Structure 1
Amino acid sequence: METLSIGDIRVTWLNGGNNHLDGGAMFGVVPKPLWSKKYPVNDKNQIELRTDPLLIQVRGKNILIDSGIGKGKLNEKQLRNFGVTEESDVLDALQKLGLSAFDIDKVLMTHLHFDHASGLTVKENDAYTSVFPKAKIYVSEVEWNEMRHPNIRSRNTYWKENWEAIQQQVITFNEEIEVLEGINMFHTGGHSDGHAVILLEDGGEQLLHMGDLLATHAHANILWVMAYDDYPMTSVAQKQLWTPRGIQHNAWFSFYHDAYYRAVKWNDANELIDKVERKRS
């Protein structure tokens, strides 16, 4: 498991599974000859994506960013359509670190699409239960409302199986919230109406987790946003705001989906100046 220190904050990437999605959808209107130079693509025009939660450890607290794609949540058709070749093994990863699901104090959800939220619940007998029963689960109020009342488009990704069992644990916020000293969430919209980014700060260092506004290192270009984004111009505007801010503060940009890098640093010219590579088996 790859790790990174932000002052006294320790970040560890867990095994949350993967999927393989259409490269064109992941890069929107960007022509394939451009994006395929930045990110590998297979003969089905799919790109490999991780769904790996970040474990944040600081001052005795264990905090997750997102929850993985889950285990046993997807039927055979969904596994095939979403290109899932590996389901979540978050609990095993925690066990290797001497932790259990009961040790997770908080879960910070960038948004609640199924590939981020399916790891929040698990089916036991005929009912779904919370995977992290002692955790407070933070999400923007806009996102939480849409999760429970999806529209004709979003109902394909906001599933009741992922929220009904955890609703008593949820804490919502409007514009921003300080989850813990040095750990803040900010509502951005864009990818989804309730999408949020997460900023870690300690000891003069920063890590900026932009969620699906910056799905991979290949999405560094401000204009490169997904066809999956509900509000692409909002995504562009938020990238215009947050990316320069992160670069100005020499922040690490971390990833949930990137199959090649866990985190990177860029300079003002968008050149890669530091990286944490994902170990590939």
Structure 2
Amino acid sequence: MFTGLSAFPLTPFVDDGIDEGAYGTIVDRLVEAGVDSIGALGSTGSYAYLDRSERNSIARLSVQHAEGIPVIVGIGALSTSSVLELAEDAQEAGASAVLLSAMTYQQLTQEDVFGLFRDVTANLSVPLVVYDNPGTTHFSFTDELYVSIAELPHVASIKIPGVPGQLDQAEERIGHLRQILPGHIAIGVSGDVYGATGLIAGCDLWYSVIAGTMPRLAKGIVDAVRAGDHAAAIALSDKLSPLWELFARHGSLRVTAAIAEELKLARPSCLPRPIRGLGEDDRADVAAMLRAIDAL
């Protein structure tokens, strides 16, 4: 489960509710592309904007449409009690693993976050992925916290927030993590611009935003790395530079939503309020990017 390509689908909205039909279609595309796992209710899945019932629906829809591909369900929430409820729902829905972030309103300490993971793993029967994404959670894990959490039961993978852009520096970073973490912990790179470099540097898998909407593009990079053709993987990633630039400018969620709308995978204004989609000029940039990378 914790190798290759983990695709994180968008959760599309319509009339301020989940567009379940569109979501099912998006997951179907991931199955057809042959991704290695599906990451439901990640940041691109807008988990923080959904109530427990809506998140349960997405978990169940994901498993139903996955056709046996492992589904990793996000269970992040502000309170430990909510996380425990979401973990129970995810397991009952048939999730193969859960993904836990350290969500904050009051600033969390390293001790707070360790306590959260300790409490949650004590009540799990499936593997857990540590979700380190300071850009959305506003909490940064230290390497020492990685090590402490990795010793807890059921912890199977850490989703790291990118790697250095230079390959030698990325290899040094991943090599250091290999030295300090138990051997069973799968290291997954995130931040799509770093996907190819992270995999070449030794990450076990790529937790990918764009794979959730355009899985074949991301899978081409992963397949090239698996075949040992690192030059091809870098070339494919470089071809997506217009996309990476849009991610850097607007954030991956808004750009991904615009892509889904351009590809007719989601209806207009598919983000949860109060988040607004891109304006007309920026949407034109997205359409031009899709033409440039031959995605239209």
TM bracket (short chain): 0.3 to 0.5
Larger relative contact order (CA 8 Å, sep ≥ 6)? 2
Larger helix fraction of residues: 2
Q: How does the TM-score come out when normalised to structure 1?
A: 0.34
Higher percent of residues as strand: 1
TM-score (norm 2): 0.33
